[in-house]
Structure 1
Amino acid sequence: MPEGMRRAPSQQAFIRAVKQHADALTLKCHAYRNLTEVAGKLADWADWTTLTTRPTEQRIADDLDLALSTVKRWIRWLREHGFLGVVEEGTTVRFRRGNRCGLDDDGHGNRAAVWVLCVPAPELDDHYLRTDKTTTEPPSCTSRRGVQEGPTHAREERSTPRRRNRISTTTEATATPGTRKHALQIAQKIHDASTTLRRLSPWYIRHLTRVFVAAGWTAGDVLHALDHQPDGAAWTYTWTSRDQIRNVPGWVRFRLSMWLDEHGRPLPGKSQRLAAAAAKLRAEQAVMREQFEAMNARRVGGPVELPPRLSRAEALAPPPVRVRGSGSGPSAAYRAARTALDEKRLGEAHRVAASTS
């Protein structure tokens, strides 16, 4: 048991003590969130009677969708501040001594570390053991009700999702374009769409992309710029996992810096380029339409009337087949001309016969 600490009376008391610590209240919003979530996950795995917990750091990272280095950092913070007492150090096959086959005395493989949840002793600070459930949090962070409303025991299921979306991304009309709220909504979309940027908070993403969002970029434009260069060539990746990127903010700054001109102003994004190309095409079509109408008006004999446009079914339909014996026949003008021609031939025949006789 760490000096000045005692075993936590319950899991909620442990979480409340961590959240109300003076050093925790000075953290930034995303760091405070990660700390409380790691502490909550340790409490979820704790035994009801002994308040000992032994989840692996990799299991916590997978459940919380955090980097393994982030989980190790906050577990080290909890140990340094006395909130975790070490019952048994974790061991691996590589570092276990006196065992050639890679198994311990019980025949098992790697052993996870065992910690006991601790809170400050009452004689040192009664502030950590308040019975009320009010929580003081950093002024930059909204209260994380998801941690307070979590399960009391490790095997109890949560009634609400682990993460609550505190940023409205569906009601775009509520945020005026160009405002900080609108930029935060775009940052939340980027956070949800990218597994790499999910390691950063939406507020940090807004800080990294504020210049581009102010220039009219969308979330899709930012994600496209992170994967492509301004000339359209795709970036090549030399890493196989997002955990191999140690400095995600620096990686984002480098990729987005390629989309700045010599004056430091953002280049047009993908959506802006597509909109400009569509507007140029519409303008060219309008000019061609005006030229055709002017040429048609100057034509001798008046404008040319184009035949009506047929539908696809009418254009593909076969021509009508005339059936013999039907009621349709030659027109009256054709029959009159044929009768006049026959009479003329008959008169010439009579004249020829009279001259020979």
Structure 2
Amino acid sequence: MRRTPSQQAFLRAVKEYPDALALKCHAYRNLTEVAGKLADWADWTTLTTRPTEQRIADDLDLALSTVKRWIRWLRERGFLGVVEEGTTNRYRRGNQFGLTEDGLGNRAAVWVLCTPAPELDEGDARTDKTTTEPPSLTLPKRVKEGPTHAREERSSPRRRNRISTTTETAATPGTRKHALQVAQKIHDASTTLRRLSPWYIRHLTRVFVAAGWTAADVLHALDHQPDGAAWTYTWTSRDQIRNVPGWVRFRLSAWLNEHGRPLPGKSQRLAVAAAQLRAEQAVMHERLQAMHAGRVGGPVEPAPRLSRAEALAGPPAAELGSSSGPGETYRAARAALDAKRLQREAERLRWLAS
């Protein structure tokens, strides 16, 4: 293993590790939360972290044994390197105030954030699968025994072909891969649903994603009712929601019809409204074309482009006297407007002269 370049790279490596992707949704969530706390306490320069296991358990509201289990999981897979072992009163002699002879007191363990090196093929002679972590009394080696009976086979490892939603390209709509990518977008956009894993979010929203909903539609449904009214909140912080899956099911159940099928989402409603608007505009355009064709006596043709002098000179006298040109009422109104414009221009010149 090697020192990680940043906290973001450490968290990304933990989330995309094959053994982590094979975990259940609750175990994956606890693992990522513990890794996130270790990254939050890490020094930006040395990338060393030293929060106590009890402090992590209190911040995440987890059992101390759970935190120890996932820290051990990270150490065994090369994500944490031991810089200094922690000490307690059980192993260091101190006085009644908990201070040792050197006056430093009980010290927390110091770890360094690492990323495991890529594994080589087993046939490569240069492969040396050893860890750079020093031996520790708190991290004993696990002995893997073979099958007990002759015909007994080793249990097959867990599936590791989970989907990486951060590096894969866009999947085909309607597939489980596409639903997982939608769930990942919801997980990254919502601070409330970030407490759940993307696989659990896919389980909660699978019916709506199969009906053509997008991540924005799901987030809109969690904040708005089908009639457009906003949901009212009785809590001041997302941490007050104890049962996030139940909260999601309740909000999304309002978007189901009497047969249990999802109603059209926001994007689908906007698409239908846009299609209706385009249809109405097409009908109006056809009506205008028909009106112009009936008035002129034929299909409307684009007028030829005129020069600036021809446009200022206006239409010729022959066209003004034709039946298809402007009538007497139009010419009288145009003359009145020209007279008013000349009168305003004369008043402006008199005001400037004075």
- Alignment of 1:55 with 2:56, yes or no, is no
CA shift, 1:292, in A, is 1.9
2:242 aligned to 246, 249, 267, which one? 246
Measured in 1, the distance between the counterparts of 2:65 and 2:305 equals 76
Q: CA deviation at 1:167?
A: 1.1
- Alignment equivalent of 2:66, drawn from 47, 54, 77: 77
How far residue 77 of structure 1 moved from its aligned partner, in angstroms, is 2.7
Distance of aligned partners of 1:85 and 1:195 in 2 relative to their CA distance in 1, 3 Å threshold: same
Secondary structure of the 1:76 match is helix
Task: Give the superposition deviation at 1:43.
Answer: 11
Alpha-carbon displacement from aligned partner over 1:131-158 (angstroms, at most 9, x marks no partner): xxxxx99725569xxxxxxxxxxxxxxx
Count of aligned pairs between the two proteins: 229
For 1:171, which of 169, 172, 185 is the aligned residue?
Answer: 169
Would the aligned equivalents of 2:22 and 2:160 in 1 still touch at CA under 8 Å? no
Contact 2:22 2:159 in 1 (8 A): no
TM-score by structure 1 length? 0.50
Cα pair 1:169 1:189 within 8 Å, conserved: no
For 2:71 and 2:284, how far apart are their aligned partners in 1?
Answer: 78
| TM-aligned CA distance change 1:39 to 1:273, over 3 Å | closer
**Alpha-carbon distance in structure 1 between the residues aligned to 2:269 and 2:21:** 45
Are 2:186 and 1:190 aligned? yes
Distance 1:76 1:270 in 2: 45
Decide whether aligned partners of structure 1 residues 78 and 232 sit closer, same or farther in structure 2, where only a CA change above 3 A counts.
closer
| 1:79–1:85 contact (8 Å) kept in structure 2 | no
Q: Structure 1's 279 and 41: CA in aligned 2 closer, same or farther, altered over 3 A?
A: closer
Corresponding residue for 1:139? Answer: 158
Letter in 2 for 1:206: R
Picking from 278, 281, 286, the partner of 1:282 is 278
Quote the residue 2:10 is aligned against. Answer: none
Query: Conserved in 1, the CA contact under 8 Å of 2:52 and 2:109?
Result: no
Provide the rounded CA distance (Å) in 2 between the counterparts of 1:118 and 1:256. Answer: 50
Q: Could you tell me how far apart the structure 1 residues matched to 2:190 and 2:300 are?
A: 57
In the alignment, residue 73 of structure 1 is paired with which amino acid?
Answer: L
1:126 matched residue in structure 2 = 143
Over the matched positions of the two proteins, sequence identity in percent amounts to 67
Question: 1:291 Cα shift?
Answer: 1.8
Letter of the 2:224 counterpart: H
AA of the residue aligned to 1:230: P
Residue 121 of structure 1 and its aligned partner are, at CA, apart by 5.5
Picking from 199, 203, 213, the partner of 1:217 is 213
Does residue 265 in structure 1 map to residue 261 in structure 2?
A: yes
Partner of 1:19: none
Distance 1:113 1:137 in 2: 42
Q: In 2, Cα distance between the equivalents of 1:192 and 1:82?
A: 24
Structure 2: 5+ residue stretches without partners: 1-19, 43-48, 73-84, 91-96, 100-104, 111-135, 146-154, 314-354
Cα distance, 1:119–1:57 mapped onto 2, change above 3 Å: closer
Q: Is the 8 A contact 1:87 1:115 kept in 2?
A: no
Alpha carbons 2:185, 2:215 under 8 Å: kept: yes
Deviation at 1:244, TM superposition (A): 1.2
Q: TM-score, normalised by structure 2?
A: 0.50
- Residue 118 to residue 218, structure 1, CA distance change in 2 (3 Å): farther
Aligned partner of 1:292 among 277, 288, 304: 288
Distance in 2 (alpha carbons) for counterparts of 1:320 and 1:43: 74
> Aligned letter for 2:158?
P
1:312-348 deviation digits (Å, cap 9, x = unpaired): xx9xxxx979xxxxxxxxxxxxxxxxxxxxxxxxxxx
SS class of match (1:178): coil
Question: 1:235–1:300: structure 2 CA closer, same or farther, 3 Å change rule?
Answer: same
| Alpha-carbon distance change, 78 to 296 in structure 1, aligned in 2, over 3 angstroms | closer
Deviations 1:42-63 (A, max 9, x none): 69989xxxxx9653766x48xx
Alpha-carbon distance in 1 for matches of 2:41, 2:286:
74
Q: CA deviation at 1:25?
A: 12
Where 1:139 maps in the other structure, the secondary structure is coil
SS at structure 1 position matched to 2:287: helix
Which has the higher relative contact order, 1 or 2, with Cα contacts under 8 A spaced 6 or more apart?
Answer: 1
